[in-house]
Structure formats: structure tokens, C-alpha cells
Amino acid sequence: MEESLVLVLIFTLVGITSALSFYGDSVSFLPLQKNSDGTFEVSFYHRQNGRSSCQEQSSLTCESGVCTSFDQSSVLQTDQDNTGQGRWCQSEQLTTATVSTNKYLSLRNSSCCWLSNIEGTTNWTSYAELDLGIRSDSNTLNHCPVTTTVSSLRVPQNCFSSMHLLAYDPDGDEVRCSFSPNATIPANFALNEVGCTLTSTGQVSTGVHVFELILEDFPTQNITLTYTDGTSAFLEAFEFSTPLCKVKLQFAVEILPPIPSCEAGHVQPMFLSITPSHGEILHATVNQTLEINIQAQAHHSIINDFQVSGPENMTKVFTYGISGKADVTLSWTPQQSDLSRVVPLCFTAETNDTQSEMRCVAVIVNQASVSQGKVSVECLANKMSVLIDKASIPGIDVNFLQLRDPSCSLMSNETYIMGSISFSTCGTKLEDKGDFIAFINEIHSFELPSTIITRRKRIKIDFSCLFPKTISISTYYSLHNSDYIFTESNFGSFGYTFDIFVNDSFTTVVDPSAYPVQVELMQMIYMGIQAQSDLPKVTLFVDSCKATPDDNPNNPLHYDLIKNGCNQDETLTIYQPNQTTFNFGVGAFKFTGNYNEVYITCTVILCQTGDPFSRCSQGCLKNPTRRRRRAVGMETDRHDITQGPLQIVQQAVPNAAVNDNRSVMKKGDLSATVKSPPENPSPVVQVTKSSGEGWNIKEMICTNISATVFASAFLMSVVVMAVIVRYFRRQRKAEDQKALIANSGM
């Protein structure tokens, strides 16, 4: 009886409140102003999320009655679902308050009704707390961290691993994110408090989860805060106990049923390279229109809109492109009142069934346009060179410029500032831009820690090298010899050559112009793999080599030459002249049955030389542990490189061994069945043998088998297995999508 009563009550509550469901919100402050009478002017934009309707907004109000005036603009809808499905909308309201207090200001609103969610959380609280002291480092009031999210976040269950949130601090303070102490944390969700990234620690359950986060900023140098009443407070650098400001961020994430593939660009839209990166800082100028271009692609679904959390009066123009692409251009013209405002902006690409990752940027509104330094960047295989025309950045002191990693130095002469930066050092970060891989660094000005005033202009020059994921080999002149080129974050771009050599001195490559190449059965084939990397200390490791009758290295019909670093074939001889070269010789063979091609595929790894935990240091593993975890940064992913096809033409009468004048051929009655070489031999690279070394036949001779028995055995093998390798050509696999995005560390 009691149970049913409770049920009825709950249903009634849901019935009443569903119309007023809360979907999350964020608050961003304009720079606080101190009035001459000691009061403060506090203005903030409050963005609130909705679904089909966005007219209802809660308003944050000042606690303890410290607000003497409180002006609220009308609520403006900033974005809505243009496909008419009412999946999201967002509104923004500007509030300007005059505040009479001397130390802290808290703003709050709370109510009962989060949208219904798995955890059953109902009460929500919007909250911000500001310290009103003047900072000794900037001589101004503190700026709160800037954040927001789009209104509706939807991620398929099997695709949720992390979600990057915006946590930008205009003062350069350290921002820490945490779950609100009062909030229920949904199971298997965790928060990386430094990067402000929501992650999963296990499988997350489908349905709606709501999140209440608090962002706090902490100074990175010792500062003193001075209050209007003359008192002051000392804040120690990186002492994460007393925040300068606390702002709350609330949002809902709907975990959708799993989808077959989480690969970005498949069903899930993937942002392409023109799209700003997450966390990027954009500069806008008062009275000038800022345009932000966003492009996404999904090959197996239709992108029908972009969700945007942006400022009022931002326009959004959507266009469909070819091959599953879609673009949106956002335009916004900041007004005088927006000066010095830092506007959070987040966006996602939407399909009916899912959504891209969310990306967020911060837009800083300046009075005059930010001067753009003239920079030229040259991208090489493993490094980039940057050249800045000094005339384009007047008033900049070279001695106060640094790269992301300050320990890397820049050079300069009278006209230029120069830097040569390896992709794996100097703080260069790698970013997967969907269609491109980008290596990003920056040159920025810095101040000495003791400086109280500055007369130098501040500058930040971002530069990057973009490499298409589908690599055109001609792009890489210094790797132009490589048959295979890969790019990974810790190793930059590196290449492998895979060649056939004429003999075991491994000096002369079988000349591709001399095609077709004849290789005789059981004759040794000499092949060499060489790794090319600009990094000084790398070691090449050949984990496996196998032969297949076609170019599918996973063909179940295969023959292992090397497996898990262990030699599997008795004819195999390995020569390793140095750490980046692996040469080997193997007796020629053919697959039995109607196969006339052989491909050799080797799986190769590059390691940092001397790392005792790398795969390279382990050598042959008889019982490799499955799913060995790769030591991050110490070795590359495994890459397959293939040589072939060796097209084998079995002739009715073999002409193998004809040119061999060794006495064994003259024994018995074999000569009658062996035809003379063709009158006009096609261009042939004769794989010459010196002293018979490496021939299996030699070994057989030494085993004392009678000449006749040997001779007929030899003839049979010639008839059955003689190989004439023709149409030898190199096969280049220019792309390896998996490899290219591997180890991106994102």
C-alpha cells in the first residue's frame, strides 16, 4: 500500500516538472570593473541548454544581498536544431550587477529538476564565486576560467573514452576541474582534473547522465590580493587550496546504444583540418567580423547540422559538401561592449544517430586587430624550419622569445629569427586533424619572473606542419627513397626501404630497369630493409617476415621466415651491419599448387636505442605474451612492409641452372633435357653466384649422395619448382591509416 503511494507521488512529480527540465548551463564573466566609489560592476553571460524550447532561463542572483542593482537583458536563443527535430537549443542572457562588498561575491540559483537521468539526480545548483582582490601580478581583478559545452552531448556506448572540456584562463592561471562535492558521480566516469577531460574507467551505461563540475583557477606565481578595505591575502604559486574563482559547469551526456564502428569519419563525423583545434585561442576585433570555418566528414552517415555553443548574434551558415562532408561558417561581429571579453565557443557535427567529438575554443575580443607576424615554415621529414621576418614584428625582442619547450633555442641574424625544430622535441605536439597529421609548435614572448612592468609587446606565433594522412611520397624529399613512410608522434616521419640485392655484399640493388628479373629456385634471394629517420638513436627490429602468394599479408596460406623475432627457415641468413639495416638471404621457393607469385611481408618496429623495455631489446620471443603493452614513446607501432610480387612463371622446359657451369650439371644425362638459353634473352639481371656460397645444392653435394640420385632429384625439383621471377616490380603502399594515427597520444 505504501509502495504504490510512493510510486504515485513520483509519477506526479515527473509529470509536473518535466516541462521545466534543466539540461545544464555555464557562466562566463566579462572583465570585472572597479568603480571609483569602491563598488564593482560584475557582468556575466549565462548560457543555458535546452531541447525544443529555450525560453525559460534561471537567473543567478547575488548571495547575501550585496547586489545594489541587477540588470538582466532579455534571453536570446543562440542556437537551435535546424533539422526541426528539437534535439537541442541554447540561450544566453547578459546580467550586469553593481556589487557592494569587499572580498567575495557568490552567485547562485538552484532548483529541483534535472532532466530524468540514470542516477536519478534531481537538484541542480548553478554557482560562481569570485575573489574581488586586485592581483599583484597583473594589477587588475582576477579573470575567472572560461568554459561551456554544447547543449546536447550524445556518444555511443562503445565510443566513449574521453571528452575534452574547455578550461581556459585569461590570466594564464592553472585551472583545475573537479566534480561538485555535492554531485552524484555516474559510475565509470572520471575526471582528469588538470586537462579537464571526462574519461571512462569502464563501460558506461546507456542513458542520460548529468554532470556538475567546478572549475577553479590558481596562480602560477606567488601573488598578493589587495581588497578595498585595505586588507590583503597571499596566494602561493601552485598551492591548490585557495582558488581565485570558482565557476560551475553543468551538462548532460546521453550514452547511446553501441554502433558497429567508432572510427572517426565512418559513422561518427570527423573534423577536418580547416576546423580549429580544441583549446585554440582565436582573436576577434571590435567591429570586424570574425569567421570560423568548420568542416566535418562522415562516410557512412549524413551530417545534417552543427551544434554550436557561442555568443548571441553569431550566425551559422550550413552547407553540404561532397563525399559525406559538411561545412558550417560561423560569423560574429563583436561590439564595443564585447571588448576584452573572452568568449567560450564549442561545436559538434551532428547526424541523426550520433555526433562528432566536441571541440571548444576561446575567442578573445581585442580593440585593434592583432598583428600577424610573417612566418615561413618549411616542413621536412622529421623537422620544421621556421623563419620570421623581423620587420614584420617591430618592437619584439628576440631574447624574450621562446618555443613551447623553452630549453630549445632560436637563432637570429639582422633580418630573420630562425628555428629548426624536430617533431619529437622542443615541445612539438602532434594532432590528428582528421585528414591531416599536424605537428604544432609556437613562438611566444615571455617575461622574466621578476619583472614588474613590461615595455615589450606580447606575441605568439603558431606554426605547424601538416602531413596528409594519405601520403604522397613526393612530399618527402628526404625520404624519397623510402617505399614506406609513416608518421608517429614520438618518432616524427620515418621511412623504410625494402630492396632485393644482387648478392650478399648488399651493395647493389637489383635494378628495376632491368625487369623482368630471373631468380632461380633454391638460389639465395638477398633482401634488405633499411630504416630512415632523422632521429639519431633508433634501432630497427624485424619482428616477422612471411611469404604469401598474394599481397594480403593475412592470407592463411603463408610461410614464416621470421616469427616473433625468431628465425624459422634453415636457409635464412641474417646480416645486420648496423642498427638501422637488416639484410637477409633466403633460398628461393614457391608455394605448391597453382600459385605463381610470392610476396614477402615483414613487420618492422623502430625503437629508441638502448631502451631495455622496448621490443627491439627483447629479440626472439618463443612464447610472446599476447597483447604486450607498448611502452609509450620508446617504440613505434608495428608496420608491415611488403616486397613483391615476385611473379613466378613456370616454363614447360626450365632454363634454370643452364648458365651454371658447375661440374654437378655435367654429370649424368641431364644435359639433354636442359635447353640452351634463349637466343635473345630478355633483359635479365643475372643473380650471380660466387663460389656457390649460399646454394642449398652445395650442401647437398657435401652430403655424399650419389651423383645420379642427386641429379634426378635435382631435375625433379627443377621441373616442379623452377622459378623464373619476372615482372619484378616494387610495390609501394603509401598509406597505412592505422599507423598514421597511432600513438597520437590524444
Residue 413 or residue 704: which is nearer to ligand NAG going by CB?
413
- Which of residues 474, 594, 676, 690 is near ligand NAG by CB under 6 A? 690
Calpha distance 316→350 (Å, rounded): 14
Q: Would you list the DSSP string of 382-417?
A: SEEEEEEEGGGSTT--GGGEEESSTTS--EE-SSEE
The answer to whether 568 contacts ligand NAG (rule: CB under 6 A) is: no
What is the β-pairing status of strands 359-366 and 315-320?
A: unpaired
Q: Which is nearest to 154 in space by CA: 296, 328, 358? A: 358
- Which of residues 100, 102, 125, 490 is near ligand NAG by CB under 6 A? 125
- Phi-psi region at 287: left, alpha or beta (left = phi > 0; alpha = psi -120 to 50): left
The answer to whether 481 contacts ligand NAG (rule: CB under 6 A) is: no
**Distance from the Cα of residue 727 to its chain's centroid:** 40
The answer to whether 286 contacts ligand NAG (rule: CB under 6 A) is: yes
The answer to whether 100 contacts ligand NAG (rule: CB under 6 A) is: no
* Site for ligand NAG, residues 135 to 174, rule: CB under 6 A: none
Residues in the chain: 746
- Which of residues 49, 354, 487, 580 is near ligand NAG by CB under 6 A? 580
The Cβ of residue 323 has, within 10 Å, a number of other Cβ atoms equal to 7
Return the SS3 of 579. coil
Is the bond into 683 cis (omega within 30 degrees of 0)? no
The answer to whether 508 contacts ligand NAG (rule: CB under 6 A) is: yes
The answer to whether 415 contacts ligand NAG (rule: CB under 6 A) is: yes
* Site for ligand NAG, residues 167 to 196, rule: CB under 6 A: 180-182
The answer to whether 609 contacts ligand NAG (rule: CB under 6 A) is: no
The answer to whether 392 contacts ligand NAG (rule: CB under 6 A) is: no
Residue 52 or residue 505: which is nearer to ligand NAG going by CB?
505
Show the site string, 20-59: x = touches ligand NAG by CB under 6 A, - = not.
--------------------------------------xx
Residues 6+ apart with CB under 8 A from 522: 587, 588, 589, 695, 696, 697, 717, 721
Query: Letter for the amino acid at 713?
Result: A
* Site for ligand NAG, residues 323 to 352, rule: CB under 6 A: 335-336, 352
Residue 161 or residue 505: which is nearer to ligand NAG going by CB?
505
Residue 60 or residue 547: which is nearer to ligand NAG going by CB?
60
Q: Which three cell numbers stand for residue 625?
A: 605474451
Q: Which three cell numbers stand for residue 629?
A: 603493452
* Site for ligand NAG, residues 517 to 536, rule: CB under 6 A: none
State the minimum distance, in angstroms, from the CB of residue 212 to ligand NAG.
Answer: 8
State the minimum distance, in angstroms, from the CB of residue 196 to ligand NAG.
Answer: 17
Q: Name 499's bridge partners.
A: 528
Sole window of 457-465, 488-496, 501-509, 697-705 interacting with ligand NAG (rule: CB under 6 A): 501-509
Residue 95 or residue 743: which is nearer to ligand NAG going by CB?
95
**Distance from the Cα of residue 139 to its chain's centroid:** 39
Is the bond into 645 cis (omega within 30 degrees of 0)? yes
53 and 77 Cβ atoms separated by less than 8 Å: no
Q: Which three cell numbers stand for residue 303?
A: 551530417
State the minimum distance, in angstroms, from the CB of residue 416 to ligand NAG.
Answer: 5
The answer to whether 416 contacts ligand NAG (rule: CB under 6 A) is: yes
The answer to whether 287 contacts ligand NAG (rule: CB under 6 A) is: yes
The answer to whether 313 contacts ligand NAG (rule: CB under 6 A) is: yes
Residue 335 or residue 737: which is nearer to ligand NAG going by CB?
335
* Site for ligand NAG, residues 196 to 225, rule: CB under 6 A: 222
Residue 65 or residue 395: which is nearer to ligand NAG going by CB?
65
Residue 123 or residue 203: which is nearer to ligand NAG going by CB?
123
State the minimum distance, in angstroms, from the CB of residue 266 to ligand NAG.
Answer: 15
658 and 677 Cβ atoms separated by less than 8 Å: yes
The answer to whether 581 contacts ligand NAG (rule: CB under 6 A) is: yes
Sole window of 123-131, 144-152, 470-478, 602-610 interacting with ligand NAG (rule: CB under 6 A): 123-131
Residue 215 or residue 648: which is nearer to ligand NAG going by CB?
215
- Which of residues 71, 229, 236, 699 is near ligand NAG by CB under 6 A? 236
The answer to whether 505 contacts ligand NAG (rule: CB under 6 A) is: yes
Query: Letter for the amino acid at 636?
Result: T
Calpha distance 140→237 (Å, rounded): 18
Angle (CA) 176 178 182, round 5°: 145
The answer to whether 302 contacts ligand NAG (rule: CB under 6 A) is: yes
Query: Letter for the amino acid at 630?
Result: R
Return the SS3 of 582. strand
Residue 15 or residue 181: which is nearer to ligand NAG going by CB?
181
The answer to whether 312 contacts ligand NAG (rule: CB under 6 A) is: yes
Calpha distance 296→149 (Å, rounded): 18
Q: Which three cell numbers stand for residue 429?
A: 605536439
Query: Letter for the amino acid at 525?
Result: I
Sole window of 24-32, 400-408, 575-583, 731-739 interacting with ligand NAG (rule: CB under 6 A): 575-583
The owner of cell 572580498 is 103
Show the site string, 618-657: x = touches ligand NAG by CB under 6 A, - = not.
----------------------------------------
The answer to whether 72 contacts ligand NAG (rule: CB under 6 A) is: no
Return the SS3 of 34. strand
The answer to whether 578 contacts ligand NAG (rule: CB under 6 A) is: yes
The answer to whether 228 contacts ligand NAG (rule: CB under 6 A) is: no
Residue 89 or residue 437: which is nearer to ligand NAG going by CB?
89
State the minimum distance, in angstroms, from the CB of residue 120 to ligand NAG.
Answer: 9
Q: Which three cell numbers stand for residue 55?
A: 525560453
Residue 200 or residue 608: which is nearer to ligand NAG going by CB?
608
- Which of residues 77, 96, 109, 226 is near ligand NAG by CB under 6 A? 109
According to DSSP, residue 18 is labeled G
Task: Give whole-number Cα distances, 471 to 77, 439, 487, 522, in Å.
Answer: 44, 15, 10, 37
Q: How many residues bind ligand NAG (CB under 6 A)?
A: 40
Calpha distance 254→115 (Å, rounded): 11
The owner of cell 585551472 is 175
Buried b (16+ CB within 10 A) or exposed e, 709-741: ebbeebbebbeebbbbbbebeeeeeebbeebbb
Q: Which three cell numbers stand for residue 435?
A: 585528414
State the minimum distance, in angstroms, from the CB of residue 379 to ligand NAG.
Answer: 16
Calpha distance 501→522 (Å, rounded): 16
For 578-631, where are the alpha helices, taking DSSP H only?
Answer: 615-618
Q: Which residues bind ligand NAG (CB under 6 A)?
A: 58-59, 61, 85, 109, 112, 123, 125, 127, 180-182, 222, 236-237, 286-287, 302, 312-313, 335-336, 352, 367, 413-416, 418, 502-503, 505, 507-508, 577-578, 580-581, 661, 690
